[in-house]
């Protein structure tokens, strides 16, 4: 049994009020972090291609 903030709650109520929302929040955080990382990487690659740091044709050939 884990330490509870509210000692008067039974385990099922504590899980419903604390453990499950926390688990959902952590999952949402990791999902948002991965989406944000992907967007930033795409934006950096597009910016580097526009500035001529990455050759579009060479990138296209490498990805095939």
Tens of pLDDT, residue by residue over 25-49, are 999 999 999 999 999 999 999 999 9
Contact 6, 14 (CB under 8 A): yes
Per-residue pLDDT tens for 15-27?
Answer: 887 788 899 999 9
* Residue 7's pLDDT band (cuts 50, 70, 90): low
3-state secondary structure of 40: helix
Residue 56's pLDDT band (cuts 50, 70, 90)? confident
pTM for the model stands at: 0.63
Say how many C-beta atoms besides its own lie within 10 A of residue 49's C-beta: 13
- Is 1:11 a contact under the CB 8 Å cutoff? yes
Q: Is the pLDDT of residue 5 over 70?
A: no
Measure the CA dihedral 48/50/39/60, to 10°. -80
């Amino acid at each position: 049994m884990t330490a509870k903030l509210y000692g008067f709650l039974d385990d099922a109520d504590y899980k419903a009020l604390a453990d499950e929302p926390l688990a959902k929040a952590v999952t949402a955080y990791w999902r948002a972090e991965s989406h944000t990382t992907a967007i930033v990487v795409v934006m950096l690659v597009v910016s580097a291609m526009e500035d001529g740091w990455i050759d579009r044709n060479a990138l296209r050939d490498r990805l095939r």
